[in-house]
Amino acid sequence: MASPRTVLQARGLTKSYGRRVVVHHVDLQIQTGEVVGLLGPNGAGKTTTFYMVVGLTRPDDGQVFLGHEDITRLPMYLRARSGIGYLPQEASVFRKLTAEENVMAILETLGLSVAEQRARTRGLLEALGILNLARQPAYTLSGGERRRLEICRALATSPSFILLDEPFAGIDPLAVLDIQKIIAHLKDRGIGVLITDHNVRETLKITHRAYILREGQVFRAPTGLIFSGRARSSARGRPAIWLPTKKSGAYTSAKRSSSTTATGRAELGPRSRP
């Protein structure tokens, strides 16, 4: 694992499809040991931005750095070796293999002995609370259990960062709580986490900061719209996030009650001054 406080950084990411610019000069950064959200409405460019950081999509312009290393042109497997794990939205386990075999399939690529593979597999399964499912075929696991197994596989290479694509999709509310606890566990292990998800409320509950994209750009209010949910938590423990109102064209996704302040900003959740 990379040294403490390594930074994964994107600078000026730009991507066009034909004449349509879908991402325009986006900057973002994640440090080890923090959880960062990448949010926005459909068509805002968040998925394309996320895929450029992951390595699934090559930017037309801009760079991605891991520490001081330019990894913009590295394929995904080399980014993984450099310390970037990726959890896709779609199921990524081998359904007919057991949970244990799924993790060992990753470890086999690292040149470890069978004994070392088994020991590390056991440790990962135990850390994620599914050691009792080691011999179960993956297709028998629940949605939450499968997510835990996928995170085990992502952790097998000892990454410094894990990029989570829609981690709350397709799982029940109890499993959402489980995944939130796991993400907190990753942070406590010093791993940096970047999350993109349509479930804004659940994402904001666990992020330290979040980038809001709109029309392919990081949207900034006059004081900036890279905000901290934890730093501005309310007495009830929910983030009280300040966003511009729809009059300014900003993205608001709150399903909670909202009110507009004299400054023209929409307040989500209990009132709390920024």
Domain end marker among 178, 193, 219: 219
Among 66, 74, 87, 55, residue whose Cα is nearest residue 156: 87
State the average pLDDT over residues 49-67: 94
Please tell me the predicted confidence (pLDDT) of residue 94: 92
20: helix, strand or coil: strand
147 within some domain: yes
**pLDDT tens digits for 81-120?**
899 999 887 778 899 999 999 999 999 888 889 999 999 9
Higher pLDDT, 226 or 32: 32
Condensed to tens digits (0 to 9), the pLDDT of residues 187-210 reads: 998 999 999 988 888 888 899 889
Say whether both 121 and 172 belong to one domain: yes
- With contact defined as beta carbons under 8 Å apart, do 135 and 92 qualify? no
The reported pLDDT for the residue numbered 199 is 82
Query: What CATH number does the domain containing 100 carry?
Result: 3.40.50.300
Indicate whether 143 pLDDT > 70.
yes
Number of domains into which the chain is organized: 2
Nearest to 228 by CA among 204, 253, 200: 204
What's phi and psi for 143, nearest 5 deg?
-60, -45
55 and 77 together in one domain: yes
What pairing do the DSSP bridges indicate for beta strands 84-87 and 161-165? parallel
Predicted pLDDT of residue 258? 35
Residue 236: pLDDT band (50, 70, 90) is very low
The answer on 131 and 29 residing in a single domain is yes
Task: Give 182-189's long-range contacts (Cβ < 8 A, gap of 24+).
Answer: 182/128, 182/147, 182/148, 182/151, 183/35, 184/35, 185/127, 186/35, 186/151, 186/155, 186/162, 187/33, 187/34, 187/35
What local confidence, expressed as pLDDT, does residue 26 receive? Answer: 94
pLDDT score at 178:
84
Reply yes or no on whether the pLDDT at 252 is more than 60. no
| Same domain? 106 vs 53 | yes
Structure tokens at 28: 């973002």
Q: List pLDDT tens digits, range 18-44.
A: 999 999 999 999 999 999 999 988 888
Name the residue with higher pLDDT: 274 or 80. Answer: 80
Local confidence band at 219 (pLDDT 50, 70, 90 cut-offs): confident
Virtual torsion, Cα 35, 251, 66, 153, nearest 10 deg: 50
Is 224 contained in some domain?
no
Query: What is the percentage of the chain residues whose pLDDT exceeds 90?
Result: 46
Segments forming the whole domain that contains residue 258? 232-274
User: What kind and span of H or E run contains 111?
Assistant: none
* Spatial separation of the C-alpha atoms in residues 271 and 274, rounded to whole Å: 9
Which residue's entry shows tokens 């479930």? 199
Both 47 and 163 in one domain: the answer is yes
Task: Name the token pair of 219.
Answer: 């949207």
pLDDT given for residue 40 in this prediction:
86
Kindly report the average pLDDT of the chain as a whole number. 79
Higher-pLDDT residue of 60 and 272 is 60
Instruction: pLDDT band for 247, please (50, 70, 90 cuts).
Output: very low
Q: How far is the C-alpha of 145 from the C-alpha of 179, rounded, in Å?
A: 10
Is 226 within the bounds of a domain? no
